[in-house]
Amino acid sequence: MDVSQFDFELPEELIAQEPAPKRSGSRLMVVNRENQTVEHRRFPDLLEYLHPGDVLVLNDTRVRPARLVGVKEGTGARIELLLLNPLGGDRWEALVKPAKRVKEGTVVRFGDGKLQAVAQEMTEAAGGRVFQLQYQEQDLEILLERLGEMPLPPYIHRRLDEPERYQTVYSRAVGSAAAPTAGLHFTEDLLNRAKEKGVKIVTITLHVGLGTFRPVTAESVEEHQMHAEFYEVSEEAAEQIRVAKAKGNRVVAVGTTSVRTLETVARDHGEIRAARGWTDIFIYPGFPFRVTDALLTNFHLPKSTLLMLVSAFSSRELMLQAYRTAVREKYRFFSFGDAMLIL
């Protein structure tokens, strides 16, 4: 399957540069797979499409302030790191810019030397390196809160005045390099109203890393390799999902990360059960969904793995039609943009 089949024209002015004034103030496009219809609503209207007994699956990962700007020891050159995955023993997989200035043994200093990163081997990712971190603080996460910045996607060019707007209200487990953006629309009030309606709220974890936002450079979809990301599903979450499926109720995944976690566990274990590990699952048209019955997501980049996933869940033709409609109706795109519910 050719990657170009997932391309579409997107005017740059439709790329949202900042969050909506209110979390739940975005628009909601509702796509019905059976009827091939599209409705235009507001995000709080989501409650009208949720039924008692539905399970709403949220990814409770929290974005780590993992973007570090420092200087190369010896030259003072500006170096930027994005920490991705801890490898143990304070060794981290990271992306570095400009990568050509960072060879094996290069030392990068942050915060007047409060944190140092020593470059080790290269990784398969473009600009990827393994770094040995050195610091005096007892807790690296506390140090990153002081020295790090929120790693906003490259298509967002404005500084975020309220970093918490790039976190979901239910974020808990620190570990992501990017937000699970479909969840950014929820408020505590909306979640409480869903519970009052009889909707079960379940949290799972997938730490968003390179796998989710790495561009597809292959010409053929089948040739693309996903980067592994860590996930965890508790026994409590698994049990609620199993019960819902047994009763014929729907599992509504909030975000593509939730879909990838659920479908990974079902694929690897034959059912939803407590599990944790690393997934490099790549979902594109032809994928057999075992768990997900409905999907809440944002609007994604052309030719991205995320657009391929939602095309697999509906169809490529329906998704591209919906995206053309979104462009015509001037929906806001990407991380801080509007939402889509696929039923």
Read off the pLDDT of residues 183-236 as tens digits, 9 standing for 90 and up.
999 999 999 999 999 999 999 999 998 666 577 888 999 999 888 899 999 999
The pLDDT assigned to 213 comes to: 59
Confidence of residue 159 (pLDDT cuts 50, 70, 90): confident
With b meaning 16 or more CB within 10 Å and e meaning fewer, what string describes 142-162? ebbeebbbbbbeeebeeebee
Read off the pLDDT of residues 315-324 as tens digits, 9 standing for 90 and up.
999 999 999 9
Read off the pLDDT of residues 66-98 as tens digits, 9 standing for 90 and up.
999 999 999 999 999 999 989 999 999 999 999
**Domains delineated in the chain:** 3-63+162-342 (3.40.1780.10), 67-149 (2.40.10.240)
The pLDDT assigned to 23 comes to: 96
Sorted by sequence, the CB contacts under 8 Å of residue 265 that are 6+ apart come out as 231, 233, 238, 272, 273, 275, 291
The pLDDT assigned to 212 comes to: 62
The pLDDT assigned to 124 comes to: 77
For 280, left (φ over 0), alpha (ψ -120 to 50), or beta?
A: alpha
Read off the pLDDT of residues 288-338 as tens digits, 9 standing for 90 and up.
999 999 999 999 999 999 999 999 999 999 999 999 999 999 999 999 999
Instruction: Report the alpha-carbon distance of residue 149 to residue 256 in Å, rounded.
Output: 24
- This prediction has a pTM of 0.93
For residue 316, give the amino acid letter.
R
The pLDDT assigned to 279 comes to: 95
The pLDDT assigned to 281 comes to: 96
